[in-house]
Amino acid sequence: MRQLIAGNWKMNGLGQAAFAEIEALRAGLAADPPHADVLVCPPATLIARAHWAAKGAFPLGGQDCHAQASGAFTGDVSAEMLKDAGATWVIVGHSERRQYHHESDADVAAKARAAWRAGLTAIVCIGETERERMDGHTLDVVSRQLGASVPDGATPQNTVIAYEPIWAIGTGKTPTSAEIAEVHAHIRKIVGAGTRILYGGSVKPSNAKEILGLADVDGALVGGASLKAQDFLALIAAAAERS
Ligand code: PEP
């Protein structure tokens, strides 16, 4: 299947500078059409403007959504609101949400269902802590999170899995290729052949080719290296050519 390179801008990006990055990304992709599908998940405040600036060259996604469609949830954004702003995707269960907002697997599953209700594709994030890896529990943790964070009804069309070892996010540390391949093969056995499995955690232009060349790696979820269009374009260019 075609790989997906998804950028997660996290809480970064303001007005004109963000607009310029979206424009540069659109121009770069037009000049050198990629082998992979591309997605940008900016902060919710930028989705409408980014959607307009992307001019259909790539879709936009949210970074989180509330499980309810509307209501008295001050500060929250629903999947329907993301859709209304121009998003067609949303990340749910990112480790920063699980850590800083105490989101449980059940919360993540409710958010994935909310995404589907609004017609968005959910990117469900899973991954182990450094302690869990050192103790040899990685595959158990990933199995448990998949079972509890991905609701019944997931299909290759409405759900993508992102395997993101927590200790690799934003740290510059990555698992070895053999370690990534082992976890992806394990996830593949659980989710089946059609579902995309992204790797995330310190992917950058210098290591993208090796990681994206691994079996069962169907793309990447990219934080820091997605903020500058030139870095993100270099990383997109490293995607494996798969049909
Ligand atoms: C992420 O935020 O999902 C991520 C993988 O971040 P980084 O690429 O910066 O490690």
Beta carbon of 53 within 6 Å of any ligand 1 atom: no
Residue nearest to atom 2 of ligand 1 (CA): 223
Q: Could you tell me the two tokens for 134? A: 């050192």
Protein residue with its CA nearest to atom 4 in ligand 1: 223
pLDDT at res. 169:
96
CA–centroid distance, residue 223 to ligand 1 (Å): 3
Distance of CA 222 from the midpoint of ligand 1 (Å): 5
- Of all atoms in ligand 1, which is nearest to the CA of residue 125? 3
**CB of residue 200 inside a 6 A radius of ligand 1:** yes
Show which residues are catalytic.
94, 164
Atom 8 in ligand 1: residue holding the nearest Cα: 223
CA 116 to CA 21: how far, in whole Å? 29
Q: What angle do CA 152, 131, 90 make, to 5 degrees?
A: 35
- Residue 140 tokens read as 């158990």
- Gap from CA of 190 to ligand 1 centroid (Å): 24
- Determine whether the shortest distance from the Cβ of 205 to ligand 1 is under 6 A: no
Spell out the domains of the chain, with CATH numbers in brackets: 4-242 (3.20.20.70)
- pLDDT tens, N- to C-terminus, the chain (243 residues): 999 999 999 999 999 999 999 999 999 999 999 999 999 999 999 999 999 999 999 999 999 999 999 999 999 999 999 999 999 999 999 999 999 999 999 999 999 999 999 999 999 999 999 999 999 999 999 999 999 999 999 999 999 999 999 999 999 999 999 999 999 999 999 999 999 999 999 999 999 999 999 999 999 999 999 999 999 999 999 998 886
How far is C-alpha 169 from the chain's CA centre? 12
Does the C-beta of 224 come closer than 6 Å to ligand 1? yes
**Does any ligand 1 atom lie closer than 6 A to the CB of residue 13?**
no
Nearest CA to ligand 1 atom 1: 223
